[in-house]
Structure 1
Amino acid sequence: MPTTAPASVAARPRPRRRGRLALLTGALTVALAAPALAAPPAADATDYTLAVDPTRRGPAIDDTMYGVFFEDINRAADGGLYAELVQNRSFEYDRADNASYTPLTSWDTTGSAKVVNDDGRLNARNRSYLSLSGGSSVTNSGYGTGITVRKGERYDFSVWARTDRATALTVTLRDAGGELARARKVAVRGGWTKYTAAFTATRASTTGRLAVAADGPVALDMVSLFPKDTYKGRPNGLRKDLAEKIAALDPGFVRFPGGCLVNTGSHEGYDAASGYQRKRSYQWKDTVGPVEERATNANFWGYNQSYGLGYYEYFQFAEDIGAMPLPVVPALVTGCGQNKATDDPALLKRHVQDTLDLIEFANGPVTSEWGRKRAEMGHPKPFGLTHLEVGNEENLPDEFFARFKEFRAAIEAKYPDVTVISNSGPDDSGTTFDRAWQLNRDAEVDMVDEHYYNSPQWFLENNARYDSYDRNGPKVFLGEYASQDNRFRNALSEAAFMTGLERNADVVKLASYAPLLARTDSVQWRPDMIWFDGRKSWGSTSYEVQKLFMNNTGDRVVPSTASGTPATTAPITGAVGLSTWATSAAYNDVKVTGADGKTLLSDDFSAGDGKWTRAAGRGTWKIEDGAYVQSDTAAEDTLVTAGDPGWQNYDLHVKATKKAGKEGFLVAFGVQDTGNHYWWNLGGWGNTRSAVEKTTGGAKQTLTEDGTKIETGRSYDLDVKVRGRQVTLYLDGKKWGEFTDDAEAEPFRQVVTEDEKTGELIVKVVNAQDTAARTRIDLGTRNVAPTARLTTLQGAPDAENTADATPIAPRTSTLRGIGRQFTYTFPADSVTFLRIKTRG
């Protein structure tokens, strides 16, 4: 990015202005009773300075700075935020979607029961229904261990039913211990009609079952059970505890519905004869209108989604929590590790029109086609859509951008006030990232969405990432980011990084941690912000950090400077290693030579593999035809190592051959152990690119990359030269790349903002080290009150919030002795916010 001095940039007017008064909603009353954190003895502390310059004005911070990103991953929607308790309620599961599925997945039947797909269906989008004979029954087990009910709470049952003659349904809610509520009788007669009943639970259970028994022949569809107590009491609503935890963040925006599920699918379109086709990309029109008329689709993440939680519900939830809605629509170019661009002008034209229709659905008057549809669903007033994103993590930047321009031109022509957001691919750097950014700059795109998931080390090293971004170029939407675990050390590194986001609020206009939700028995991605099971939910350590920042953002940055931690950079040291990832590969002629020419290791494997150490379960290694071969093409991260962890300044030579599998091969250096090393990953990511990755504490970050692909059966000569912190790499004798790993992982970070309404300075300090930081704070020329509100997150770096314990939670108290200058010791491994009232 071109380097220019940071400057304040005028922000687009927002639909609301949110107060930033509370440190942590609901926690303050209890927290005020807690004692202030004791400062460690000065002898154990590191000395720092923090100086605030109130005579200068930093960038304004938009109310929408921090938000949330929702994607239906980890069962975030069905079985999660969407409060429906019945799984596969419309009998639409199918082996075409998931090899383990049948139309009766999550159902048990007795007597004569079969799933039917014929002209007698409920409607065109509900392909299948259940036919029961008299005396038969069907029982649903919900999600996970079963249906969770709470004693004394009400549950609303509904079903669509059809019969040729009058009959009755007996509906029960029970578990292995017996009834959970009094059974209900439902009389059924005639064609497809919706019938309802209500239960009040007489006891609690997490293993409940919903059963429907038929007195006579009957057809059933859309069998449903909802808690009455949904968020805001809405029918077809949201699980209350999850929605409340999201609302407690006070998010400025909600990005939805993804994520990878937006733009990945093998089919498009609707076929009235067979119902909706399988595994198509997410299309918003599938998700609105009466719930029983919405499609069911195969989710990118391997399970089905009912679309009961659809675009109307997303818009409504954003409105309920005072957040800006930010939908993402498919760009007809796959992302998330896939490389396919749809070349169909008619299909592109339809998707562009669908996007225009979406804006009309959100903003149009009730006299318009889609505004009328919104009004019919219960919301005559427009939702006030101002931002919309096209595409997500496309790996083909040129193909994506050609299609993006079609969307942008159409939207700007009809809706010039809507900001159209582009993206920069799936990573924080590399050839795709650079090309995407160049295209976005050249076309003067308003905003670019960046995504990255990296190690805590990377977040500590990259606090200044946005300092050098062009102040006159596209703004940044950091739509997905997280450190690669859910322990407090990860949250600390994210907090340190967030101080840099705020300092650069004139460039970084929107930011959201991702993913948002994870059901414990359906985890496909970690880390996640909020965890839950059928019974309860809890915030991760990262949730607590996000909540602290989001509830205390401030309106403007107040320029400040702080001293740093003395540098401790040392040469790269470590042993060497060989590995594979979903590939079989052969290695030979391994040689390590010191900078003085002395041979440290030489192995042609003629004497076996005795020089190498491998952990149990890491692939299948053995000597074959004079080479060291890993033969399991399903195994990942099969690292074997040799040598001394103290080695430095050496040359590594390896001969490598890919034998079979999806990727190439990996050669490691600077190996301390299996969770701390560098490796040269050739033919990685499905053999789409190559990179050097640094692994720290088991979490990876990319240092340099290109588009090199590896051929099966071809022998490659690999050479790695390590000198101090500089590494140079050669492929078949030609220089492939180089890097210098000298970025400092600064553990002491800070930013100061101002709440203009309350007149408070908000001093935010992250101390991500095991030593306390005794700090001299100079607030400049301001007159200040003698006390401040102090909130601290502090704990062991390995601490993790769970269902049973939340060791990382805010402690809030009053700090006395505040003046223009004062000293405070920030505890080791802590995030501390000081709200200081100014006078005059």
Structure 2
Amino acid sequence: MQKHLKIDTSQKVTPLGDLYGIFFEDLNHAADGGLYAELVQNRSFEFDPIDNKAYHGLTAWEKLEKKGAKVTLEVEDKAPINSRNPHYLTVTAKAIGDGAGFMNLGFNTGIPLEKAKIYQFSCYSKTETAVEKPVVIKLTGAEGQVLAEGSLQPENNGWRKYECTLTATATDYSGRLVIEMQETGKYYFDMISLFPADVYKGRKNGLRADIAELLADCKPKFMRFPGGCLVHDGSLDSEDRDSLYRWKNTLGPVEERPSRRNNWGYNQTLGLGYFEYFQFCEDIGAKPLPVLPGGYDPHHQRMVPIEELGPWIQEALDLIEFANGDKETEWGKIRAELGHEEPFHLEYLGIGNEEIGEPFFERYTYFHKAIREKYPDIKLINSSGPFAAGKEYERGWTSARENGSDLVDEHYYQSPEWFLANYHRYDTFKAEDPKVFLGEYASWGNTYYNALAEAAFMTGLEKNAHAVGLACYAPLLCNTDYVNWRPDMIWFNNHEVFGTANYYVQKLFMTNQGDYLLKTTGENFAESVTAEENRPLSGKLIISAAVNTEVNCREIIFEDMTTGEIKKAQGAALKEGEQLELFDTKLSHYRLKFIGEKKSGTRGFEISFGYENRENRAIWELGGWQNQDCLVSSMVKGRGSCLTQSFFVVENNREYQLELEVKGRKIKTYIDGVLMNETEDKLPILKELYYTASVDNNGDYIVKMVNVKENPITFTLTLEGQEKTDLRGSRYMMSGYGLDDMNSFEEPKKISPVQEAVVLSNGTGEITLPGHSIVVLRLSKDDR
């Protein structure tokens, strides 16, 4: 039978709103050493072991002594330029000779310098006594060759800011910033800074242009910031070095912004702060979507007492006033004084980041009520935790429904197979419920296969715009020399940047979103599973101890739930890395029961089942991350998917009756007779064609189509209502790649869309999609 895809151009089904955006979090050195264009690492000598055990005040700095010169470097705090950045560098230079000074190593291989490019140097400095000869500022190459030179004349009458402009005479991506004294004496330095002149939009304290332009090219509808886990991990005291992320600390002159611990294991200068975030959103046409802590640190279970929540709630109200208030208001005036008199038009605000546990949701209610009363038009975003399903996920949705949250922030990182198996995830979500904000999602990997699976899943997001309001891939950026997390959408070093295959899918969908979903009907397209229908989770059963843990297991019973046959196994004491292999079953319905006890350690048990090998199995984990989870996950080709989670703490020296029941691909777990998890490890059911269609406010028709299968597919495409019209426009196609292919610095656009002109005569035509392809058609009546 002939395959036919019909698009009814007369039926606008659902507004697509602000569906596709981006999410920025400072991990993988995404800000310092990344989007934030500062080239000096540790510019204010505030690096500290609290950031990273290897850090100290002189991290990334080295002294420079030539031909008998003697230099001593000390980090002091007796007379700082301000109390918020108390440390500064004292340089004692003796026997000057041909060069006495110090240098900064920058990030990655060094400071990237390009021939004829201009660099803006600045610092605060003073001397102990008057000196006649200036301090020399140099940019040097990897071998020490001088590529640019300037000077400053420090004075001994207190801290003063000095600036000079340097122009590089050659290209070297392993450069150094060198500061040399020409006269014996004691010198003081702080806030030593170097920016390229060609920052994005030419803004002071600006952003690295090549990375910013890749983001701007996506034309995102919104940008979520500043995180992520760094929002809610830290001390509750805003003055503490390791505090939760507090937005007011990020405003004002950069030298007055306190240095802070970044919870991803490095230092965060806050040079890229809330004003810069709002400004960047405006520059790229994205709506700002800030996320604030909710008075709760789930990483360490620190919480603000309910009766002390007032200042935290006021902080949220002040942020809205900062963004939207006129310049006569307290915080609107501060925004205007920073250089932006007009409001930033904030519409969305998130409270909390993937929190679980009752303490957060109890506190969320207070934030929600206060913000709703004062600013009823602000769309408030609740949390559902970092898992795609389970009791904590449902707790978040219950809170959102009870409070009337506008959106619920869902996060999940899963295998490509999970995304294909869950294409219909949002089909049954109700339009009257809060909408989904898919605030973090990605399949594990940056291959073309990952991008292909994500594209198919995204057509499902679009089709369910009644339920899904916002979505953004995560993480966004990664410095290739400072990797905390992978996969990532964009990779960079100190002078190069490339978008992954995932980036080009996201860009395709963002730049071709459309404003209204159109009714779309597919005829005679087939579906198929990737393996035999309902293949049961049979295979080996294995008990093992989790990381840093010792456990005992005994009274092990395995039951065939169909025949009632029972087998028993000998128990064992297990340490990390040890496992007890029990049974290898081909049954489709079975139960495993045993008594488990954790003797010591930080986590608990892992029970593997449906075990083919370590990279292909299902896992029941008790006492997962920080001993908080009871979860069931699935591993496919080494890529994990959490299927469901409940909150559970495994206590030491306590026996638990543990029970796992598997029926086909349905899974139940029990602890002491209480049902803890219930889920299904779905197999992907591959559609012959994934598709969606929309129209924008200019009248352009947009058709997105994904073929995840190996073979090409041919069908007729008809735009009903346009039968007497020739539609002209562009076809953007990604195809012809190996499933394991990836982009790289050497081949940054190996996987990227190819654009061709296309005509659809009389609103209809035959379409052939190659195997493993992604195609977007953008058509209009007047060939815009």
Match of 1:395 among 338, 356, 374: 356
The separation in 2 between residues aligned to 1:454 and 1:175, in whole angstroms, is 44
Would you say 1:809 and 2:778 are equivalent positions?
A: no
Specify the SS of the correspondent of 2:726. Answer: strand
Q: Is the 8 A contact 2:75 2:87 kept in 1?
A: yes
Change (3 A) 1:243 1:442: same
2:302 corresponds in structure 1 to 340
Change (3 A) 1:403 1:187: same
1:629 corresponds in structure 2 to 574
1:32 corresponds in structure 2 to none
Q: Is the 8 A contact 1:172 1:179 kept in 2?
A: no
1:302 corresponds in structure 2 to 265
Q: Is the 8 A contact 1:574 1:644 kept in 2?
A: yes
Q: Is the 8 A contact 2:517 2:695 kept in 1?
A: no
**Match of 1:99, as an amino acid?**
K
The separation in 1 between residues aligned to 2:681 and 2:93, in whole angstroms, is 73
The separation in 2 between residues aligned to 1:497 and 1:415, in whole angstroms, is 35
2:413 corresponds in structure 1 to 453
2:108 corresponds in structure 1 to 144
Match of 2:741 among 799, 806, 809: 799
Q: Is the 8 A contact 1:460 1:745 kept in 2?
A: yes
Q: Is the 8 A contact 1:47 1:773 kept in 2?
A: no
The separation in 2 between residues aligned to 1:735 and 1:365, in whole angstroms, is 54
- Per the TM alignment, residue 560 of structure 1 is displaced from its structure 2 partner at its CA by 1.2
Change (3 A) 1:780 1:743: farther
Change (3 A) 1:466 1:163: same
Would you say 1:571 and 2:535 are equivalent positions?
A: yes
The separation in 2 between residues aligned to 1:786 and 1:388, in whole angstroms, is 40
Specify the SS of the correspondent of 1:466. Answer: coil
Change (3 A) 1:298 1:753: same
Deviations 1:190-214 (A, max 9, x none): 2111101121111212221112123
Q: Is the 8 A contact 1:639 1:674 kept in 2?
A: no
Specify the SS of the correspondent of 1:753. Answer: strand
- Per the TM alignment, residue 140 of structure 1 is displaced from its structure 2 partner at its CA by 0.8
The separation in 2 between residues aligned to 1:736 and 1:285, in whole angstroms, is 41
1:260 corresponds in structure 2 to 229
Would you say 1:475 and 2:435 are equivalent positions?
A: yes
Aligned counterparts, 1:536-575, within 5 A:
536-562=496-522, 563-567=525-529, 568-572=532-536, 573-575=538-540
- Per the TM alignment, residue 538 of structure 1 is displaced from its structure 2 partner at its CA by 0.5
Match of 2:31 among 58, 71, 77: 77
The separation in 2 between residues aligned to 1:157 and 1:645, in whole angstroms, is 68
The separation in 2 between residues aligned to 1:82 and 1:288, in whole angstroms, is 15
Change (3 A) 1:781 1:413: closer
- Per the TM alignment, residue 564 of structure 1 is displaced from its structure 2 partner at its CA by 3.5
Q: Is the 8 A contact 2:418 2:682 kept in 1?
A: no
The separation in 2 between residues aligned to 1:99 and 1:183, in whole angstroms, is 35
Change (3 A) 1:403 1:172: same
Deviations 1:321-373 (A, max 9, x none): 111111111111123x5433221634x22222222222222222333332232
Would you say 1:658 and 2:598 are equivalent positions?
A: yes
Specify the SS of the correspondent of 1:566. Answer: strand
Aligned counterparts, 1:196-207, within 5 A:
196-207=163-174
Aligned counterparts, 1:287-366, within 5 A:
287-335=250-298, 337-343=299-305, 345-346=307-308, 348-366=309-327
Q: Is the 8 A contact 1:333 1:341 kept in 2?
A: yes
Change (3 A) 1:727 1:365: closer
Aligned counterparts, 1:26-45, within 5 A:
none
The separation in 2 between residues aligned to 1:479 and 1:574, in whole angstroms, is 36
The separation in 1 between residues aligned to 2:631 and 2:313, in whole angstroms, is 36
The separation in 2 between residues aligned to 1:290 and 1:647, in whole angstroms, is 67
Match of 1:94 among 43, 48, 61: 48
Normalising by structure 1, we get a TM-score of 0.85
2:91 corresponds in structure 1 to 132
Of 733-742 and 417-426, the range deviating more from structure 2: 733-742
Aligned counterparts, 1:126-205, within 5 A:
126-135=85-94, 136-167=100-131, 168-189=134-155, 190-205=157-172
The separation in 2 between residues aligned to 1:802 and 1:786, in whole angstroms, is 37
Deviations 1:257-295 (A, max 9, x none): 11111122124133xxxxxx2200111111111111111
Q: Is the 8 A contact 2:632 2:677 kept in 1?
A: no
- Per the TM alignment, residue 598 of structure 1 is displaced from its structure 2 partner at its CA by 11
Residue ranges of structure 2 left out of the alignment (5+ in a row): 65-70, 95-99
Deviations 1:114-136 (A, max 9, x none): 11112x11011111011112345
Q: Is the 8 A contact 2:727 2:761 kept in 1?
A: yes
Specify the SS of the correspondent of 1:412. Answer: helix
Q: Is the 8 A contact 1:785 1:818 kept in 2?
A: yes
The separation in 2 between residues aligned to 1:749 and 1:192, in whole angstroms, is 67
Would you say 1:441 and 2:381 are equivalent positions?
A: no
**Match of 1:210, as an amino acid?**
L
- Per the TM alignment, residue 525 of structure 1 is displaced from its structure 2 partner at its CA by 1.1
Q: Is the 8 A contact 1:106 1:140 kept in 2?
A: yes
1:19 corresponds in structure 2 to none
**Match of 1:832, as an amino acid?**
V
Change (3 A) 1:175 1:786: closer
- Per the TM alignment, residue 414 of structure 1 is displaced from its structure 2 partner at its CA by 3.2
2:219 corresponds in structure 1 to 250
2:12 corresponds in structure 1 to 57
Q: Is the 8 A contact 1:502 1:751 kept in 2?
A: no
1:827 corresponds in structure 2 to 770
Change (3 A) 1:199 1:698: same
Change (3 A) 1:259 1:735: closer
Deviations 1:179-200 (A, max 9, x none): 2423222111121111011211
Aligned counterparts, 1:664-743, within 5 A:
664-716=604-656, 718-731=658-671, 737-742=677-682
Of 798-807 and 701-710, the range deviating more from structure 2: 701-710
Choose between structure 1 and 2: higher strand proportion.
2
- Per the TM alignment, residue 755 of structure 1 is displaced from its structure 2 partner at its CA by 3.0
Q: Is the 8 A contact 2:236 2:304 kept in 1?
A: no
- Per the TM alignment, residue 437 of structure 1 is displaced from its structure 2 partner at its CA by 1.1
Normalising by structure 2, we get a TM-score of 0.91
The separation in 2 between residues aligned to 1:650 and 1:302, in whole angstroms, is 44
The separation in 2 between residues aligned to 1:776 and 1:587, in whole angstroms, is 61
Specify the SS of the correspondent of 1:211. Answer: strand
1:765 corresponds in structure 2 to 705
Specify the SS of the correspondent of 2:360. Answer: helix
The separation in 2 between residues aligned to 1:83 and 1:406, in whole angstroms, is 38
Of 124-133 and 716-725, the range deviating more from structure 2: 716-725
Residue ranges of structure 1 left out of the alignment (5+ in a row): 1-45, 271-276, 605-625, 633-637
Change (3 A) 1:579 1:816: farther
Would you say 1:369 and 2:334 are equivalent positions?
A: no
The separation in 2 between residues aligned to 1:409 and 1:735, in whole angstroms, is 34
**Match of 1:521, as an amino acid?**
D
Of 716-725 and 517-526, the range deviating more from structure 2: 716-725
- Per the TM alignment, residue 815 of structure 1 is displaced from its structure 2 partner at its CA by 4.1
The separation in 2 between residues aligned to 1:598 and 1:411, in whole angstroms, is 58
Specify the SS of the correspondent of 1:471. Answer: coil
Deviations 1:580-622 (A, max 9, x none): 3322334567676666769999753xxxxxxxxxxxxxxxxxx
Percent identity over paired residues? 40
The separation in 1 between residues aligned to 2:419 and 2:562, in whole angstroms, is 36
The separation in 1 between residues aligned to 2:30 and 2:593, in whole angstroms, is 47
- Per the TM alignment, residue 718 of structure 1 is displaced from its structure 2 partner at its CA by 4.2
The separation in 2 between residues aligned to 1:356 and 1:334, in whole angstroms, is 20
Q: Is the 8 A contact 1:330 1:392 kept in 2?
A: yes
Of 724-733 and 494-503, the range deviating more from structure 2: 724-733
